[in-house]
Amino acid sequence: MTNADPLEKTCPLCGGDNACAVAAGRSHEACWCWDATLDADALAAIPPASKNRHCICAACGRIEPGLTDEH
């Protein structure tokens, strides 16, 4: 049995797999977010209980090319 939080691999915004390399036991440099530009609105939407505990997924976190602050 493991003590790992099953939510570590779940995006707190959409509930999908967050593909977090660290939660999977790999280096943080291997994570999709390491060199991505993250959407500030998505980061602000993370529930307080999940901040610094659960990563968001790429679909929720990445800024889409061509989008501006005016969405």
Residue 71 pLDDT level (bands cut at 50, 70, 90): very low
Query: Is 38 part of any domain?
Result: yes
Count of positions (residues) in the chain: 71
Query: Is 71 part of any domain?
Result: no
Query: Is 31 part of any domain?
Result: yes
Domain of 49 in residue numbering reads as 7-12+21-64
Tell whether pTM > 0.85: no
Q: Which two tokens stand for residue 27?
A: 């280096």
User: Residue 70 pLDDT more than 80?
Assistant: no
Residue 10 in 3-state DSSP?
Answer: strand
Rg (CA), the chain: 13
Give the tens place of pLDDT for each residue, 14-69.
999 999 999 899 999 999 999 899 999 999 999 999 998 889 999 999 876 655 44
Query: Higher-confidence residue: 35 or 6?
Result: 35
C-alpha 27/C-alpha 24 separation (Å) is 9
Query: Is 34 part of any domain?
Result: yes
C-alpha 13/C-alpha 60 separation (Å) is 7
Per-residue confidence (pLDDT) for residue 7, from 0 to 100:
62
